[in-house]
Structure 1
């Protein structure tokens, strides 16, 4: 297999076709019995190189990394005229000329650094002939050293082809540039934008090529001729056939110019129009000459009579004139005719035939011979016109109705005169017709549009003024009289600015700015003709021609309504504030005794009760905690409804939060023999930014409900990643159970406020019906969504999705929080007026090794601090005579013997938004809501007293 490896190494620099050819060649050589490949590695290598060098069709040169030629194949010697002996030992630059040696050194450097490199150069044969080549150089192993194998392909034919293409391109460019007609190309798939625009087009339109290329007709010509340009484009695209049109446009000095335009669709390989080639010719002179045809013809006849002796010269001039006449006659876009007094057409051009719907002029002439009346819309009009012509009356161009071959009628602008043949002396009619159908239809649409706008103007609900730059009213609609109470004549006679009642100078200054082109929108107060003051919105802008359009809307009622709404909003905010204060007070009044009840039950449970007594006390504690949950739900819902709930954005560990949720319900699940499990992928990142407390609250609601409504089976909490970006992840949280399930009809009201699916008096499961409603609102406040899938008797799956930013892992986040709760007792001053709370807090604090003194109000706190030394103060907020906030202010002011910085911890039943911030701002060092969690309290005492002691020792 060694020879195959060598082969593949050699052909790495070749294209696929040449490489495949050499593979087949080597297979043939290997299979030949007279050329067996020995197993010996060196001989195999030599045979491979020999076969490759001798059979390859390209120039192959092997040289060292320094450029010294080692070997070359037969093709190299034949094409360049050198013998192998002449090349061996010479530098590679010998083949490219000495002037390229630096270039060759550079290339060799690139080959060495990269391992392979491709480039173009020119080999010079021994006889001086230049051979353009494309070289592919690669580092290969030859013997025991690395060498460069260069394979050069002759690209002479390609270079010649490129030169021919370039020459043809330049030739074609010169043809297009010097064409006597305008030439353009539009690309269909690029919104018909111009891609070609020759110099003749620049002369005819005045638009230079660099401004025309890439533009559309609307951008170049605006509305000037936009309709016919668009219609002819679409017709060419639709039919796939050339389309001809004539355009009449005026130059800046007012001179009319006529263009003949041919648009030819250029089709792609699928037979669809890919581009439009346009040819534009200025035929103004030709059209003007058409009006002089008859004059030239009469002049020729007169000259024939006067110059019989000069017949040959006259005949020649006549022939030239006739050729000119024939060219104009046949190529004119106007319909040219000559007819007798019976209405039979004697002569006409092709344009007239097309105008009347016939394929050729002959068909039109034949039709008029058979039925002259078929060409006229009303024969009576024709007879009347003919009588006036015969009477010697001259006609200006007029509009006349003609009838097409299919019976339809069109309007033609007609130029006609009565002539008499001087020899036969019979009269006939001659002239030309311009089809006015399109312009007529446009005029009708314009008139209809004007009528429509006039109706809108008259019926508008706003007062509309048209003023001059001096502020005089030029016109106004009827609504002006209704709003301002003045007649139109009165308005025209006064200056409307005199009606302004407030901020007159400022408003007049803004009105003056309209003259400079500024669009004005403002609210102002005006006095009407009846003396009533109104509030109105005014908008004004400058129009062309030095006029100002102003619109006035009376919003007096709206302003009054907005004032009423503001008053109602203020009343609602006051009511909301009153509700919040009520909830805060009720929270305090309920939480305080609840805290005492829960604390006392903990004391009793630790007193060694009999089993039945312990069950009774546990029931009391469970009922108290259920009542506390109800209060918490109501407070949370009130915060959300009042928009006072805030979502924090702090770093947290996801798995730690999930473990807390599962741990909360593990005992309840065990009591019901349920399997409670948490599924989190191992590769899911753990650190995020968000409100871990609110996420845990939602999960707790969902897991708690799942445990509550499941009698057997399992409850599973699962987290998975839906999508991930560099900065964030979209996570899906789901809680699945095998519980009672929810009917499809009930699922629609599952997240409603106070909604319970078992509302009867005999219901088995307690609750406020607020848990899921709060969960839904919390998820939406965090920018997520929540939904449920469930079947009765099979279970439910609640799912919510959140996008959470990643959090950078910090030293604090990576370490598990460890509170070093000191076993050394502290001297604690407990400020608490509730006797139950005094008793159970004192009990548990002493049980933890602390000494406690109780104070029932703020005065007793200040007295105790003057009489004894304490390490810390536990301060109730709501106390008689002097509350906790006022007492703290006295302590921080230094009015006791205690240090001003003595740690003070707020113990309060207040749990509304801002309570914690309010406590800390008042001088508290920390905050704990009631009912008090004793483990948290122990940690706070250890931390605050430990920090203070460490600071004093330092």
Structure 2
């Protein structure tokens, strides 16, 4: 058995060799041997662990020393950085101290300030991002640093596409005004702001106008660090202004052709420029070009002066956007006219106040007279409504969902024995329970769809019995609050015959009135078969009345060359059509149609009013042709004068050159006099030709006179020398008598 070396020496020393073979001794020695071996193993492990721990401690110590050195270096660099950015010397740091508390305090203060600045920048960023204006921030070299969402939407560029680029590089194009670009460059180089309008191009190449403001941002040293530009898209304003200028001429021509008057008021010059029609209306001389506001005011009836003067004052001050008033004028013959004045500003001054006003005048004297007649008829109608066997009422559907009677005529008391106030308060409660459902259903349709309300129902009136009422109404108008008002009648069914007869009489009466007018009237049933045509329509179409009745309306108007709808009954608004009458004559008609209902509110067809506007159409064509002819004549004149300018100036310059060469030769005194006179005359002639043939000056009304000093005596002397030979040929004596009191020098144009 192998034992541990130390144990083996001890056995040999203390146990006799004869006893080694004892079994109990061998077990004991084996256990002791195992203990020795375990001790050796534990010792080796301990030594190994201690050796490893020693190495780790040494490495840790080295790491700590390195960290201390790094910390000292970091603290030193941190102090150096703080001293660099602390321009105001708010903190004093010991370069040999490792105390970080003062640094921490300073950094905390800087962090707080940084947070406040970031909050302000975040707020400004949100405002810039959400505004509809284009916002661009550029650095001191005018290179883009940031743009907002509106900039990207309008220009089509993303932020990544424009960063580091100058705005002019990707926004400006061939149509951008070079003067504006130069102005921006000059202002920014001078450190100034810029404000103006400029044409830009988006990414797709389309143009848009912006109202641009560029402002430089300076740092504490007064140096420009950034540029902030804000642009507002004004393309719509520019387009509307151009369209307005283009349409003004068409509008004036149309107004003159329609018989209305046109006026323009220049607030800065206090001049009224009026059309011929307006001057004819007022009896003023057509050749008078301008009217002052005082002269025009004299033509207004005194009661209307304050009204129109106040309106113009409010319009010129900007408190009123348009004028739409009826004003009474006095004709020069003393008669009173009613004119409808409509005006609006078309130009504004630097303060945003109107400086130029454009307006129209329409003679509505006949309309006002008709209104007076209608008002009298209304009063007559109100008187009749109190006596007819039916009550007239107005029923109002309010926007808040409530509804109420607005008016019931006193006739309701004669019909049902109930006062108007009582019926307005309790009308629904009188309806028979069996009829209430259908009454409310039709009432709901009228409220929701504004369809006519027609209903027969029973009324149970306490103490008076049961009655049948016939209610018929339709939508009439909206109140200022937007409430829908229905107007109709309430009648006793037993009197229905009388009511129908009365309606028929009224219908025939109004048809008779229309028949005498110049408006054509045509009625058709649901199948488009004509049921009625007045005399005016027969004259317009050259059809006989008997030929029209029963004829399909589309067959009568079959030769239509311009119509918006193949079925005129489906077109309820006014429109223009070109037709051929029975004789084949082409005519222009203005057509206005509406559905026609029976007494029960059921649509039974259509009614149309026709107005012959052929003369107005011919006038439009004549105006277009006249304009084209005027353009051709102007071009012909321009070409003629241009050719003549060359043809006349060329030989004349040759003559002047020959005279100049003659003066260089040796001449007698008489020859020299003739040559000098010929030179002076040719120069005068060239000056006159230049002025006559200068088309641009003549058309622009610019004919400038020289303001150079000259001697009147010398002028007379030159004239005398020029015409002297002609006077001698005719046997005339030419003398000039010039006063000695005449000034020696004058300022003016000696050639003219």
Q: TM-score, normalised by structure 2?
A: 0.26
Q: TM-score, normalised by structure 1?
A: 0.21
